[in-house]
């Protein structure tokens, strides 16, 4: 059985405690990722934050809105964005960029210093985190996301409310983002298939 993250494996094992199948954990990738390999995350002062995803409770959207209100209040130059949904959201000071394409995502990320993915439910992976990191933009995730297997620990939090008031404490990192070719090779190796 292939698990795409340690989170997915843990959840399945919790509900199937007598699981006797051979299993392996191999993270996923996508051809939608901007760049692969070693990516240097830009270490600039955080003046703009963003949330990317559906505007729903389980994704931590409303927690992000509360956090962004405090972030905006700290400094008149701070900006907060949301994107990924066509829902009409009117929240004081938050700029709604709506749905995006691959090209508009890359363009928008050039003006964003930190993307916050505050998922409250377990997510088997969270590919958007890799898409963001591949652009060189910092990302902060909750430990409920399977992508934590790839994202460094200092970019992970239990929940957004536990995040330090000093948002600039999120350090610059170098991340290794797997390519689709690497992912394909690892999956074929699981089945002992040569190509």
CATH number of residue 133's parent domain: 3.40.50.2000
Contact 85, 78 (CB under 8 A): no
pLDDT tier at 186, thresholds 50, 70, 90: confident
Which DSSP category does 145 fall into?
B
Instruction: Determine the structural domain holding residue 169 and report its residue range.
Output: 30-177
The verdict on residue 9 lying in a domain is: no
The verdict on residue 51 lying in a domain is: yes
As a whole number, mean pLDDT of residues 2-16 equals 87
The verdict on residue 185 lying in a domain is: no
Number of domains in the chain: 1
What pLDDT is stored for residue 92 in this prediction?
Answer: 84
The verdict on residue 38 lying in a domain is: yes
The verdict on residue 193 lying in a domain is: no
The verdict on residue 17 lying in a domain is: no
* Per-residue pLDDT reduced to its tens digit, 78-106: 999 999 998 888 888 899 999 998 889 98
**Residue 139 burial (10 A CB sphere; 0-12, 13-18, 19+):** buried
The verdict on residue 127 lying in a domain is: yes
| Beta pairing class for 114-117 and 138-142 | parallel
The verdict on residue 116 lying in a domain is: yes
């Amino acid at each position: 059985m292939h698990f795409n993250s340690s989170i997915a494996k843990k959840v399945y094992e919790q509900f199937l405690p007598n699981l006797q199948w051979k299993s392996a954990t191999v993270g996923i990738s996508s051809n939608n990722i901007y760049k692969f390999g070693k990516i240097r995350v830009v270490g600039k002062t955080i003046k703009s934050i963003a949330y990317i995803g559906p505007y729903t409770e389980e994704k931590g959207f409303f927690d992000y809105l509360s956090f962004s209100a405090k972030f905006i209040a700290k400094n008149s130059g701070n900006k907060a964005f949301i994107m990924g949904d066509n829902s009409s959201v009117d929240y004081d000071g938050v700029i709604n960029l709506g749905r995006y394409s691959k090209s508009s995502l890359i363009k928008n990320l050039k003006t964003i210093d930190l993307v916050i993915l505050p998922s409250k439910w377990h997510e088997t992976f969270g590919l958007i985190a890799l898409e963001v990191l591949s652009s060189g933009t910092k990302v902060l995730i909750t430990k409920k996301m399977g992508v934590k297997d790839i994202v460094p620990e200092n970019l992970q939090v239990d929940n957004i409310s536990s995040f330090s008031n000093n948002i600039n404490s999120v350090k610059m990192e170098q991340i290794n983002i797997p390519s689709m070719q690497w992912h394909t090779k690892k999956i074929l190796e699981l089945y002992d298939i040569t190509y």
